[in-house]
Amino acid sequence: MITQDRKRSGYLLIELMVAVATIALCSVMAAYMQAHIAIIHKEAEQYLQAVNLASTQLMHNNTIVQDDAYTIEITKSKLDTSIAYKQIMVTISWNSPKGISKQIVIHGGGIDDTA
């Protein structure tokens, strides 16, 4: 019986193909994650802007304001006519980067200076 003592040098083609496929899959997943994170970041910015607009409108007691991307509506109601207090509800509406309609509502109150 003849035995060959031959050392293996280099890599097999299948090993190289698996390595390249793994690197390509990781690259595609990283690109997808980055795009998804960018969308989430934009939505977070929109929520922050909406809360800032709502708190500003709550302080100034305006009724309806139309911003470029946001619709702001303020509803005032009196809980009890014997108390000089009004309840204020600020509603902010906008469309997200995905085209979904979003809305936040902030409740507050203040002294009714019209009474």
What pLDDT sits at residue 73?
Answer: 83
Q: Is residue 4 part of a domain?
A: no
The CA distance from 67 to 91, in Å, is: 13
Average pLDDT for the chain: 82
What pLDDT sits at residue 27?
Answer: 97
Q: Is residue 86 part of a domain?
A: yes
Average pLDDT of 96-101? 86
pLDDT band at 28 (very low <50, low <70, confident <90, very high): very high
Total domains in the fold of the chain: 1
Q: Is residue 83 part of a domain?
A: yes
Q: Is residue 7 part of a domain?
A: no
pLDDT band at 65 (very low <50, low <70, confident <90, very high): low
Average pLDDT of 62-74? 71
Q: Is residue 8 part of a domain?
A: no
Q: Show the domain range for 42.
A: 13-111
What pLDDT sits at residue 1?
Answer: 53
Residue 92 burial (C-beta neighbours within 10 Å; 0-12, 13-18, 19+): buried
The secondary structure of the chain, three-state, reads CCCCCCCCCCCCHHHHHHHHHHHHHHHHHHHHHHHHHHHHHHHHHHHHHHHHHHHHHHHHCCCEEECCCCEEEEEEEECCCCCCEEEEEEEEEEECCCCCEEEEEEEEEEECCCC
**96 pLDDT exceeds 60?**
yes
Residue of 75 and 114 predicted with greater confidence? 75
- Cβ–Cβ < 8 Å for 90, 72: yes
Q: Is residue 3 part of a domain?
A: no
Q: Is residue 2 part of a domain?
A: no
Q: Is residue 19 part of a domain?
A: yes
Q: Structure tokens of 70?
A: 């946001």
The CA distance from 86 to 80, in Å, is: 8
